[in-house]
Amino acid sequence: MKKWRTTISKWFDRLDEQWRDLPVKRQHHYTLLLFAGYAALSLIVIAKVCYDVGESDGKLTIEHIENPLIKQKKSSASPQDSITTILKRKMYER
């Protein structure tokens, strides 16, 4: 765990050195690109939320939760060679 921490720390130190070695104009350019991407993504998410809210009919339907096990249709054919059936028969034999 400590080895991972030192490896990650060294990696971040190298990235920081590379960032500081870049000219200020290039740093400014990268920062603007990052901000533009973040702003575009934010606008897309806000537009999607507004669209979804506008499309909804505003009614909330409340329904009972149904047990999925009850919905399953039980097989009409009984298992002929089920191990549990065989064990139950042996257990209740006299």
Say which residue the tokens 């350019």 belong to: 29
What span, in angstroms and rounded, lies between the C-alpha atoms of 15 and 10? 9
CB 49 within 8 A of CB 55: no
Q: Which two tokens stand for residue 48?
A: 């999607």
CB 34 within 8 A of CB 26: no
Residue 53: per-residue pLDDT: 86
CB within 8 Å of 85: residues ≥ 6 apart: 78, 79
Q: Residue 1 — very low, low, confident or very high, per pLDDT cuts 50/70/90?
A: confident
The reply to whether the predicted model has a pTM over 0.95 is no
DSSP, collapsed to helix, strand or coil, labels residue 89 as helix
Indicate if the pLDDT at residue 93 is higher than 70: no
Indicate if the pLDDT at residue 64 is higher than 70: yes
Domain boundaries in the chain? 1-57
What span, in angstroms and rounded, lies between the C-alpha atoms of 15 and 21? 10
Q: Which two tokens stand for residue 54?
A: 């506008």
Indicate if the pLDDT at residue 60 is higher than 70: yes
Residue 91: per-residue pLDDT: 62
Please write the tens of the pLDDT for every residue from 17-59.
Answer: 999 999 999 999 999 999 999 999 999 999 999 998 888 777 7
Indicate if the pLDDT at residue 87 is higher than 60: yes
